[in-house]
Amino acid sequence: MTGGGGRDPGRVLVTGAGGFLGAAVVARLRDRGVTVVATDIRESLAGGGEMLACDVTDFDQVEAVIRGGTFATILHCGAVSGPMVMADRPLDIWRINAGGTAHVLEAARRHGVGRIVVCSTTEVYGQLAGRIDETTLPQPCSVYGASKLAAEQATLGYARQHGLDAVALRLSWIYGPGRRTPTALERFLRNAIAGRDAILDASANEFSHYLHIDDAVQGLLRAATAQSAGDRIYNISAGAGVPMTGIVEIVRRLFPAGAASCHPASEAHSGVSDIDNRRAELGLSFQPAVPLDLGLQRYCAALRGPNPSGTPGAVPEARR
């Protein structure tokens, strides 16, 4: 399989393969005939094949997997999946996101892995306003965002000092079928589907930055297969933000019999309006392909199924 420039990813390791993004990446790779080793905090099945147990906070476990794998590519999805997860356990967030990434990078350095793609987040930008790109100074406002920024810096350090071919992707808000972490968007859509009053827990003047799971997977595969990743940090988002009122309007069209709304405009600034993808477009040939209206339609169709997002109200575990 090639894409984004023609590099063969070879034998691929995917960490966090039991999580939303990791599972989707494993499934896509295996569908395309790529040899994949999938790992997560617990051993189970992933994407039609075996998933090995590996806790990224334990360097010996990480090195054992990588030492024996002869991997050409690592897609490091093993991390706490968002600022809403484990918010009361900040040290664990740091150990998993920052420490776990350092473990993967060090084991990759020791054992000659060809390319490492690290999943970061646009949460590193914090509560900035207006248009942002990769040259914008990050200002994380949570331990989660700070831990992801630390993971990025570790990636840069290993690349610059040790010549590791490593990149970090700043992914925006990933949504779509298969997500198990409860979110405001999921609650909003479930209420709309059920015919209840659906109130999106956001202010009308805020911008959303929802990235469909298919586009998130595309971003990782583009980074894995680009012939030369000249830059080390890339935004992977849907581009221009959509006002929360735009999401409400889409849902009203999908469910005209219901009552969908969001909170009135707040006095606070509206946040980031546009996450610039031009660096990823030029360097990785990445362009988002799933518009928000189609993505929400697909997500609603999945939510109608037999509990596709897990048990409502369940507290998800971090994927490692």
Residue 50 pLDDT exceeds 90: no
Least confident of 41-45, 145-149, 242-246, 287-291: 41-45
**Each residue's pLDDT tens digit, 266-284:** 877 667 889 999 999 999 9
Residue 4 has what pLDDT?
45
pLDDT band (50, 70, 90) for residue 228: confident
Cα-based torsion angle of the residue sequence 109, 114, 118, 119 in order, rounded to the nearest 10 degrees? -160
**Structure token digits, residue 182:** 């409860």
Give start and end residues of each alpha helix (H) in the chain: 20-31, 59-67, 90-94, 100-110, 143-162, 184-193, 213-225, 244-254, 278-284, 292-303
Residue 43 has what pLDDT?
66
* Cβ count within 10 A of residue 48: 11
How many angstroms separate the CA atoms of 74 and 108, rounded? 8
How many angstroms separate the CA atoms of 177 and 304, rounded? 11
Mean model confidence pLDDT for the chain: 90
**Each residue's pLDDT tens digit, 293-311:** 999 999 999 999 865 444 3
How many angstroms separate the CA atoms of 2 and 33, rounded? 11
How many angstroms separate the CA atoms of 193 and 298, rounded? 13
The answer to whether 36 touches 47, Cβ cutoff 8 Å, is yes
